[in-house]
Amino acid sequence: MFQSVRVVKLLSVALLFLLGACASGPQLLPETKRLPERVELADVPFFQLSDAQGGPSALAALLNHHGVITSPGLVDQRIQQLARGLSAQAGLEVVARSYDLLVYPLPGNLDALMQQVSAGHPVLVMQDRLFGGPGAQFALLVGYDQRERTLVLRSGNTRRWYTSFASFDDAWGEAGRWAVLVMPTTQLPEQPLKQTWLTAAQALEQQGRAAAAQRALRTARQVWPDAQL
């Protein structure tokens, strides 16, 4: 009898430990922990939800951030013109490149995203069921707080959506861990990867944006003199 009670107590303690570990979310790498404790890119624009997934709103905010004056409605028109039949993510990438901006994919871990935000780069992500509605939604990751283990996103009709590392990681994982930077071709991301950058430049070239692709190549050669498309 006493042994059974003891086993139950031990199992309860173990379960609480596991639940606590899950609730805390992903554990950051040492180099991520050395980033500034709190960052928020307050100057990133915000447009309210313009469609069920918020893709046009999120991309319009990024485009305006990089000096392209547009609106969610105009972005949606371009999606209909250029990306009909593509996935929502691929459609946003095609439209971003149509403005001569480079789409740089990021690894599927929170460390990579926080590294870019710390360097001043908002990250376009897709989440699944994080914002209270059914299905996936796009958002811009614009900030984090390491002490509170929270992130700040622009999404839906909320300019500053706060979510825990754990909730974000779960919702991001459900949506396939898609995350990209949309950047000028003259600016490299933080700790750029040569092949990732060149592949992104090739995508510009393949979409008929040859001049933008060559600008991206010149930018690459500042770091990798032997870079080729």
Q: 100: domain CATH number?
A: 3.90.70.10
Q: Which domain holds residue 116?
A: 33-221
| 4 found inside a domain | no
User: How confident is the model over 39-56, as a mean pLDDT?
Assistant: 92
In a domain, 229, yes or no: no
Query: Is the pTM of the predicted complex or chain greater than 0.75?
Result: yes
The pLDDT of residue 164 is 97
Instruction: Please choose, from the candidates 188, 180, 173, 191, the residue with its C-alpha nearest in 3D space to the C-alpha of residue 95.
Output: 180
- 22 found inside a domain: no
Mean pLDDT of the 197-218 span: 98
Measure the CA–CA gap between 216 and 229, rounded to whole angstroms.
Answer: 10
- Number of domains observed in the structure of the chain: 1
Inside any domain, residue 189: yes
Residue 152 maps to a domain? yes
Residue in 187, 190, 117, 109 with CA at minimum distance from that of residue 154: 117
Could you please report the per-residue DSSP string of 129-169?
S-SSSSSEEEEEEEEEETTTTEEEEEETTEEEEEEEHHHHH
Predicted confidence (pLDDT) at residue 19 exceeds the cutoff of 70:
no
Stretch 196-223: mean pLDDT: 98
> Residue 190 corresponds to which tokens in the numbers above?
């933080």
d(CA 211, CA 205) in angstroms, rounded, equals 8
Establish if 200 belongs to a structural domain.
yes
- Tens of pLDDT, residues 90-127: 999 999 999 999 999 999 999 999 999 999 999 999 99
